[in-house]
Amino acid sequence: MINPPGSAEQFTPALATSWEHSDDGLTWTWHIRQGVTFHDGTALDAAAVVKSIEAEKDHAGASFIWLPLDTIEATDASTVVMHLGYAAPMDLVASSLYGAWIVSPKALDAAAADDTYFESGKDGGTGPYTIESYTPDSEVLLTKYDGYWGGWSDVTHYDKVLTTITPSDVDQQQALDGGAVDIAFSIPLENVASYATNRTTPCSRSRRSSTTSACSTPSASHSTIRSCGRHCHMRSLRRHHRGRHGWLRNTVARSGSAGVFPTTHR
């Protein structure tokens, strides 16, 4: 994963624990994390990584990011080797927020047989949360994946996260400022600057104040505004697979102090 600007390290190893490239930049070797499972129980291995990247290079929405890639192979169960046609920063490509997802082979096969497979709210990722339910054009309920490779015992987290699909960026900002939500993924660009410094907004559900602040980070297509109330430690959901149509891109997450859903907070 790419870390935010200013971090001590540019990357944090996730599904690949380490990687290296040849001096000419044409061969990249990736060492895949062991003991990881997809949400459907399938084990993550080098063959699964190869299958995902070959599918993305062939027909993903952002397949162009894989143009430098000539061939990719699994040399053993935990090693992937990429052979490039020309030198390119494949560490940046592989950590892309869009077009570089590693998806369960079972899900890829199902999607190949039915191109509407993901539209019913299925996922095929390895991240901390999986989809419990999906109501088109309305909401997505995520629940923690007990088998998450990153573990849960040493972090504060939510067991469930409810995101409401709110295409209007104006509506998202109103909900954020009104305290109805804790995170907005898209607000009018002309209003982003007003969040550059912390400001106090009413929090109607809890009848108290909440500080809203903004951070600027590299992003595929949107700004993220975070409202930090009583619980200022919501885990990022970016590692969880978002499906073919990226339906989390224009959502508002209702969680934390708003108490939108019964949740066990740890």
Name the least confident of 90-94, 120-124, 195-199.
195-199
Summarize pLDDT for 171-198 with one digit per residue, the tens: 988 888 888 887 887 888 888 877 766 5
The enclosing H or E element of 170 equals: helix 169-177
Name the least confident of 160-164, 176-180, 221-225.
221-225
How far apart CA 139 and CA 81 sit, in angstroms, is 39
Q: Is the pLDDT of residue 223 over 80?
A: no
Interior/surface letters 234-266, b for 16+ CB within 10 angstroms, e for the rest: bbebebbbbbbeebbbbbbbbbbbbebeebeee
Residue 45's alpha-carbon distances to 32, 81, 258, in angstroms, are 7, 13, 39
Name the least confident of 40-54, 103-117, 252-266.
252-266
- Domain 16-110: CATH architecture, name and number where available: Alpha-Beta Complex (3.90)
How would DSSP label each residue in 77-102?
A: TTEEEEEESS---HHHHHT-SSS---
Q: Is the pLDDT of residue 56 over 90?
A: yes
Q: Structural domain boundaries of the chain?
A: 16-110, 127-258
CATH topology of 16-110 equal to that of 127-258?
no
Q: Region 216-228: what's the mean pLDDT?
A: 50
Domain 127-258 grouped into CATH 3.40.190? yes
Q: What is the pTM of this model?
A: 0.71
How far apart CA 68 and CA 190 sit, in angstroms, is 36
Summarize pLDDT for 126-142 with one digit per residue, the tens: 999 999 999 988 999 99
Q: Is the pLDDT of residue 4 over 60?
A: yes
Residue 52 exposure: Cα atoms within 13 Å on the Cβ side: 24
Q: How much is the pLDDT for 120?
A: 86
Q: How much is the pLDDT for 194?
A: 79
